[in-house]
Structure 1
């Protein structure tokens, strides 16, 4: 069964923003006299906007409604992106390279506002057949919803699609949806062993994400 399409994650694959997200959200929480719980950062990786803002409000204890938490944090993230878009080396080339041979999609936990801004700034918006935020499906990663919807929009079954992911929850999401999983582990936030075990291919950097490597997954 050959691979017919590729679905990219955004944060940690195209842009290196996990540290930015952590810095912005930790700072926001601290301004309200609260601290991350021991597992807050790990849990939020892959959560949708509604899920992580609810976590910060209801569990971490930020004294604001989740909707306000989300608006505040997203505004700060957008400001950071406007000042300096932290593209991962080789990411734009990898997207362009695969888009020349496969239909490609994007399945991200970022808000629609940030997805659109990143792709426009990077000059790759038109390369994607469809882009999805977990805001637009019932459940965020590690649930399979966003990948199932992305492949549906591509008109393909998950089994003939490959996903490019970095985080534990992203790998679990793509694996649960039935895609072939390509892992690009993040150096600062490496995926858990059980999540990495779901990958059909593990690469060290995006220069290794070639058309030939993807075709071999089939």
Structure 2
């Protein structure tokens, strides 16, 4: 099933888009001091290690229905918003539940786990705040649900980011650049002035298609193909603490 069928793209990739120039050098040296006007960050896997939490959700959700978690399931869901992911799950496993019922169940489990266990990766918050201190606009672009992220203790997402774009705001997967373009629009920044930080190769490719600079980030998610991410991104970062602020 093609995930893009879950919504009509408001924007599509523009092959003629003005691309942000590649930075000379490689991460982390090329990331500080900043040579871009706006930065767009993914959440899960990029600035927070939450793969294990969603693995718990997948195992509990499918297990309660007598199903095993397929090896490619988490990777497929990672580029979809909750509603598109629920539709995909219904079609793949032949479930009779509604999209809303599944989203509600995922939200409840996600909120419980994120409240007590989700943390930002070391060095990520310091870097985001340092960018803002240098006048760089910052946005969050995630397929995760706002209710889940707002449940985290000790992390004020609205204080950290100037704007947040969630999967429910843009009804297409990250194989389309819409979520990044919406983030840049809200920041008032041209795509060519933006850098996107992502742990997913598919997101990096679509951000490239929109003319944005990209930095791939190594995650602790075992489903990540780090070498693929390194290959398709302009820059690659192993650890946020490697950036010398």
Structure 2 match to 1:55: 88
Q: Is the 8 A contact 1:34 1:62 kept in 2?
A: no
Residue in structure 2 matching 1:145, options 178, 193, 202: 178
1:60 Cα shift?
2.4
**What are the superposed Cα offsets for residues 111-142 of structure 1, whole Å, 9 maximum, x if unpaired?**
12123334x73135223221100210131212
Change (3 A) 1:51 1:192: farther
Q: Which structure dedicates a bigger proportion of its chain to helix?
A: 1
Point out where structure 2 has 5 or more consecutive residues left out of the alignment: 1-20, 22-34
Question: Relative contact order (alpha carbons < 8 A, sep ≥ 6): 1 or 2 greater?
Answer: 2
Which of 102, 106, 121 aligns to 2:140? It is 106
SS at match of 1:81: helix
Q: CA deviation at 1:38?
A: 4.1
What SS does the aligned partner of 2:164 have?
strand
Q: Say if 1:174 and 1:96 are closer, same or farther in 2 by CA, change over 3 A.
A: same
TM-score (norm 1): 0.87
Unaligned stretches of 5+ residues in structure 1: 212-218
Is 1:189 aligned to residue 223 of structure 2? yes
- Provide the residue aligned with 1:121 in structure 2: 154
* Deviation of 1:10 (Å): 0.7
Q: Give the aligned CA root-mean-square deviation in angstroms.
A: 2.1
Displacement after TM superposition at 1:192 (Å)? 6.1
* Cα distance between partner residues in 1 of 2:145 and 2:69: 21
Find the residue that maps to 2:54 and give its secondary structure. helix
Q: 1:25 aligns with which of 40, 50, 58?
A: 58
Q: Across the two proteins, how many residue pairs are aligned to each other?
A: 210
